[in-house]
A and B are shown apart, each in its own frame.
Chain A
Amino acid sequence: MADAPLKVLIVDDEAPARRRLRELLDDCTTALPLVVVGEAASGREALTLLGSTLTDLVLSDIHMPDMDGIELARHLLKLPVPPVLIFTTAYHEHAIAAFEVHAVDYLVKPVRVQRLLAALQQVPRLRPLSEGKLDRLPAAARRFLSVTERSRVVLVAIEEVIYLKAELKYITIRTADREFLLEESLTRLEEEFGQRFVRVHRNCLVAREAIRGFERRVSADGDAHWEVLLRGVTEALPVSRRQQFIVREIGRESSA
């Protein structure tokens, strides 16, 4: 195990930064057997590569278009064997202060070869960042939700989500095409994406953009309640009595 070369993935949106890191990793090979298994320009690209390439260590930039480093760290936890992740950053911004506090590993660019080697030598002793630790880092809302399907990480863009519905242990993610099962808490999702979704029921968040209208339904026993009609899907979702005020609130916005 110790003899197998360390498999490293480089993630940075700037090509020169990736090249520089590759050069430095080359310099380290004499002291420590390693192999660069790939390069990615964003967290999203990295996840695609990680799905097909066994990797021990991900060296990832923080600020990147499409998907930043912190979001990547979250999604890669869903891999069957999550790799270790070490952030690389050019500047001591506020995120770094939090990294220090929570002992999250990072390297400052430009990276010195000695610092890099020291970090590489630690990798076998490091473990992937825990979800709890990641929660405490200052981060923007995710752009994707991720689910594991047949040991692969599947990304669902937040914009595609029509509603999120809690059912027993799981949350159902509904997009126009299909459903996914997610293991997270609805309350946490509401905190993270409160701008985008509205709670229509104790167990259900609906994308504001997807709301087509509301309809009053009277059931067989004479009980009346509101249902929300959605774009892209045929099923209507019940609005709970407690959340009834949103019917007027959103109804007014859309009629204005």
Chain B
Amino acid sequence: MRPSINQNTVRLSLPELRNLGTILRILLAVNAIVLVAALLRETRWAALWATWLEMMSIVEPQLLLQLLVLYAFAPQLSRLPYRSGAIVVLLLTLAVALAFNTAVAALVEDVTASAMSRDVVFSMLIAAALLVYFQLRAKALSPAITEARLQALQARIRPHFLFNSINAVLSQMRTDPRRAETALEDLADLFRVLMRDNRQLAPLENEVELCRHYLDLEKLRLGDRLTVDWHIDNMPKDAMVPPLVLQPLLENAVYHGIEPSSAPGVIAINIFLSRGEVHAILRNPYQEGPRRGGGNKMALANIRERLALHFDAEASLENRLTRDSYEVHIRMPYRTKHRTGKPRG
């Protein structure tokens, strides 16, 4: 392989063959292509449905089998360089198509050799076309666009928080210098992460640590008004998540749920692993009253978009408002550093 000269050129990689989004796209594309083929073959509208179904009955089992094989070999495939990977994908597709057609030929008598070879060629062409499609899609999403957007999207800390925190640290200087020291260290850690290049996934453990630093700073400022309830005993520490996926939500929770009230409030954080998925549920009190300057929607849209870029359809973010509380629920696939869909460079 030629080494890339420019750091920013797209690193070619296979689509994530275990990603629900990828699988859905393949299924939809193949079904659509078969529909087009049926339209070309069948001139009578009335019979179109039957023709399509007939074609699907041959294509669908074969397609599912191919997807299954690719799913099985996904980890090995993702470790290959792109070109070899693509060739292996095509070979696997070919092998399944051949095997399938041979099996069908053995069972059904009226299958001709030409029909068989046509079918195999058909499936190879679709596989190649899909590989090209995924490559184009990755290009469209990834380099300049994604990077620029991720940079811009990156959650921003409210300046209001920064200056109030610095003021709170100043207030500790004379009476409790040690607490002031810790607070400055928290602030440094927080800003280190904020200013870092946050495009790569990072361990959940780090994100939780960051959230703790952030909430410690808020506690310094808000005192007894803020209580944090952590439920993270079943948290998969090694899950790889987009950096700053939780902190901006906590910032919203403080800004909209705690600050507007003089009464003490609780922010509950619940992170757990369930059926191979990481769930994070954040809850804060909600008071009806004059709305504070927005920001919440932007943070939500930002996190949603980053989840989609990293995990496609396998992640989701839902928010719910009840009478007196506001809840955000994030669902992400459980991936670890050694078991991610994408090869790391």
Contact = CB atoms under 8 A, between A and B. Distances in A.
A65 B258 CA distance: 9
Given A23-B171, A91-B159, A141 B290 contact: yes
Interface in A5-27: 13-17, 19-20, 23
A223 B223 CA distance: 63
A42 interface: yes
Given A16-B167, A109-B167, A65 B261 contact: yes
A41 interface: yes
A110 interface: yes
For chain B, give the interface size range. Answer: 20 to 34
A91 B160 contact: yes
A141 B163 CA distance: 26
Interface in A197-229: none
A91 B171 contact: no
A66 interface: yes
Main secondary structure of the interface of B (DSSP, over half): helix
B171 A16 contact: yes
Nearest to B223: A15
A14 B163 contact: no
A131 to B, nearest CB: 21
A24 to B, nearest CB: 9
Nearest to B262: A65
B129 interface: no
A66 B293 CA distance: 17
Contacts of A90: 159-160, 163-164, 167
Contacts of B171: 16-17, 19-20, 23
A90 B164 CA distance: 6
Contacts of A13: 259, 262
Nearest to B166: A110
Contacts of B260: 65
A90 B159 CA distance: 8
Interface string B324-336: 0000000000000
Interface string A37-66: 000011000000000000000000001011
B174 interface: yes
B157 to A, nearest CB: 12
Contacts of A110: 163, 166-167, 170
Nearest to B260: A65
Interface in A108-124: 108-110
Contacts of B222: 14
B293 to A, nearest CB: 8
B172 A109 contact: no
B164 A109 contact: yes
Nearest to B292: A63
A29 B163 CA distance: 26
A31 interface: no
Nearest to A23: B174
A16 B290 contact: no
A3 interface: no
Nearest to B163: A90
B163 A16 contact: no
A256 interface: no
The winner among A13, A16, A23, A63 for most chain B CB atoms within 10 A is A16
9 contacts: A14-B221, A14-B222, A16-B171, A16-B172, A16-B220, A17-B171, A19-B175, A20-B171, A65-B259
Given A17-B171, A108-B163, 11 more contacts: A13-B262, A14-B221, A16-B220, A41-B262, A65-B261, A66-B262, A90-B159, A90-B164, A90-B167, A91-B159, A140-B290
- List of 7 A-B pairs having minimum Cβ-Cβ separation, nearest first: A16-B171, A20-B171, A90-B163, A16-B168, A65-B262, A140-B290, A91-B160
Interface of A: 13-17, 19-20, 23, 41-42, 63, 65-66, 90-93, 108-110, 140-141
